[in-house]
Amino acid sequence: MAGYVGILVSDPWLQNQFTQVELRSLKTHFTSMRRESGKLTVGDLASRMSRLKVVGENLSEQERADFIADLYPNLNDEVDFEFFLKVYLKLHAHASARTGSPAKNSSAFLKAATTTLLHTISESEKASYVAHINNYLAQDGFLNKYLPINPSSNDLFEIVKDGVLLCKLINVAVPGTIDERAINTKRLLNPWERNENHTLCLNSAKAIGCTVVNIGTQDFIEGRRHLVLGLISQIIKIQLLADLNLKKTPQLVELVDDSKDVEELMSLPPEKILLRWMNFQLKKSPYKKIVSNFSTDVKDAEAYAHLLNVLAPEHSNPSTLTVKDPFQRAKLVLEHADRMGCKRYLTAKDIVDGSPNLNLAFVAHIFQHRNGLSTQTKQISFLETLPDDAQVSREERVFRFWINSLGNSTYIDNVFEDLRNGWILLETLDKVSPGIVNWKIANRPPIKLPFKKVENCNQVVKIGKQLKFSLVNIAGNDIVQGNKKLILAYLWQLMRYNILQLLKNLRFHSHGKEITDVDILRWANTKVSDSGSQSRMDSFKDKSLSDGIFFLELLSAVQPRSVNWSLVTKGVTDEQKKMNATYIISIARKLGCSIFLLPEDITEVNQKMILTLTASIMYWFLKQPVEEKPSATSDSENGSQVETISNSTTDDSASESSVE
């Protein structure tokens, strides 16, 4: 690591401030900023740093400008990368010191958790997450010898070093994500087996919506506590917010008045829905303020006192609303929650300190336990009039997770809403084809004027045509208007272009030639045939692929020790096919493929997902150094050496999905 960091940074002090992946991410931002105008000056930093997490979200441009001007009065001096890092660290410390509130954007929890560069952790958050783990994994047969974990110790960071706990926690958050048959669970794991578990964990975390751009398998081995805790916090948040959608909790339609509002509600991120639910319940109380965040707005515990009185009046304590001291009120609120039987992993101090992560978790627990919504409501009839396109929903999920995995400036919650200003699409294009975006004519958010959004989206379409996408009848305004079919068609072509370019760029294999779908198909069939199998794939829509056997043989061909054939079913019944499909996805992720498809995409032979799965396996295999390529007798450590760009833009191409 030090060697790599030293290439970019010569200052030893700076080298000690960053991990390798953090430095790489910041270098990408720096290069992008400088490319916009050919150079970067001290005076440019205040505006250009708006896209950086923490610094950009918790300080206004004017605040950044004033802070920088006080430190560096020569605003016309050109900035090199090391100077940029020093300014960033000082701004980051300034932002963290002066605000306890969450970042402005709705998904700050997801973004900030894994990107803090101060390398400090909250002991209170650690204790909270340990309590959650102790509660939800207490009955696990493998982990029970390690649980309960002592929240006041650092045992958590030792236990996660073999990767098993994190894999199990992902399955608690989103059941079925990881086929537990793929987890290495021997009592003593060798370094390669631990690395496999970490790779499986990181690729699976991306596949449920976590941001892991700044986390690598080495961080688990080195016990980087802030990164481990950041990932755990994201996984737990996903679990806690899982019911905050109309599919899981149709009673949420009670929050809106008509079908138009229902569609708007469906597009909101879960934390925004949670806030709306909280304010909906508070309207039934004397409390008149609007709660807009899980930090400063709840620090006095008054909103909590009224909320719990509405939801569970039988457990109320009159003293809660009369006591003057916020800390004492917070203690009474938690006692009320206890009487409700509501799990809570925060203290009165966490409430008055305004801890956004723990307060959000507390409110989510309250919602799960008692949401106060009507079990029978006439508004549910609105849902019957809305289009229910499971395929569109599945594809939206795939593209959303793929885009978020690239490390763009903003985390997106809904591709149909969050891509409409064109900015994230431009960032994604720049990741897929560096230098292709003309940033001089791009309009940076926030964008109030509609025609500025159209300008961005027109450039998105223009670049798509430059990349030879099929964009008949697609205009920039279609993206601004949120046209689902056309947005999905564009994103599919962008994802496909990404993986084909990655394969093309492996010049020692492609000799710089364009890679086609036929090349991928031929490669897969050749690998399986050379391994001695008779299986073959006629096309990416070959219905015989539904049993999963071909892909298991392909995975075994590229890494002979990857598949435990005693766990493979014949793939005859629907249940057997699903078991094989789940195993395929976990094995591919365990090797290092960053893929986002679901088992249904294999069992239903979703042509586009099958293509990206095959291409991802091909890309992983061809990236292995020649001397490390697995042979039939191989037990080498190449399996997850390519922790595959698990943290970089590239590997995520192997995602799945689509629509035309």
What pLDDT shows up at residue 116?
39
Q: Please check whether residue 659 lies inside any domain of the structure.
A: no
Residue where a domain terminates, one of 44, 66, 100: 100
What pLDDT shows up at residue 119?
54
Residue with tokens 């005693």: 566
Residue 435, SS3 per DSSP: coil
DSSP string, 169-203: HHHHHSTTSS-GGGS---SS--HHHHHHHHHHHHH
Q: Read off the tokens for 157.
A: 């960071």
Residues 489 and 459 in one domain: yes
- Tens-place pLDDT, residues 390-422: 767 889 999 999 999 888 888 888 899 999 999
CB under 8 Å to 219, separation ≥6 — which residues? 19, 21, 227, 228
What pLDDT shows up at residue 107?
37
Residues 364 and 426 in one domain: no
Tell me, what amino acid is at 194? R
Residues 407 and 467 in one domain: yes
Residues 555 and 441 in one domain: no
Residues 93 and 136 in one domain: no
Residue where a domain terminates, one of 319, 353, 379: 379
Q: Please check whether residue 208 lies inside any domain of the structure.
A: yes
Q: How far is CA 627 from CA 547, 593, 618, 631, in A?
A: 33, 20, 17, 10
CB 459 within 8 A of CB 422: yes
Classify residue 385 by burial, with Cβ atoms within 10 Å: 0-12, 13-18, 19+.
exposed
What pLDDT shows up at residue 451?
94
Query: Consecutive sets of 10 residues in the chain, 660 residues long: mean pLDDT of each?
Result: 46 68 78 74 83 72 81 81 85 66 35 43 89 93 91 91 95 96 91 93 94 84 86 94 86 79 80 94 94 93 95 92 93 93 84 91 93 68 56 87 88 90 95 93 91 96 96 92 93 95 74 84 96 94 96 96 94 96 97 94 96 95 72 37 31 33
Q: Please check whether residue 117 lies inside any domain of the structure.
A: no
Mean pLDDT over each residue of the chain, to the nearest integer: 83
Taken as a whole, the chain contains a residue count of 660
Range of the domain at 181: 123-241
Residues 259 and 295 in one domain: yes
CB under 8 Å to 451, separation ≥6 — which residues? none
What pLDDT shows up at residue 558?
95
Q: How far is CA 233 from CA 103, 197, 206, 424, in A?
A: 16, 19, 14, 25
Residues 542 and 576 in one domain: yes
Q: Read off the tokens for 614.
A: 């095959």
Reported pTM: 0.77
Nearest to 402 by CA among 424, 433, 423: 424
Q: Please check whether residue 265 lies inside any domain of the structure.
A: yes
What pLDDT shows up at residue 633?
38
CB 530 within 8 A of CB 621: no
Residue where a domain terminates, one of 506, 525, 551: 506
Residues 405 and 479 in one domain: yes
Residues 94 and 52 in one domain: yes
- Tens-place pLDDT, residues 323-367: 999 999 999 999 999 999 886 778 999 999 998 999 999 999 999
Q: Please check whether residue 264 lies inside any domain of the structure.
A: yes
Residues 66 and 144 in one domain: no
CB 215 within 8 A of CB 227: yes
Q: Please check whether residue 533 lies inside any domain of the structure.
A: yes
Q: What is the CATH number of the domain that holds 216?
A: 1.10.418.10
Residues 256 and 348 in one domain: yes
Q: Please check whether residue 308 lies inside any domain of the structure.
A: yes
- Tens-place pLDDT, residues 68-87: 887 787 888 888 888 888 88
Residues 130 and 150 in one domain: yes
Q: Please check whether residue 535 lies inside any domain of the structure.
A: yes
What is the Cα 477 distance to its own chain's centre? 28
Cα dihedral 264→265→269→270 (10° resolution): 180
- Tens-place pLDDT, residues 484-524: 999 999 999 999 999 998 888 875 555 667 889 999 999 99
What pLDDT shows up at residue 4?
36
Nearest to 56 by CA among 101, 105, 20: 105
The partner residues of 41 in beta bridges, in order of sequence, read 78
**Domain count along the chain:** 5
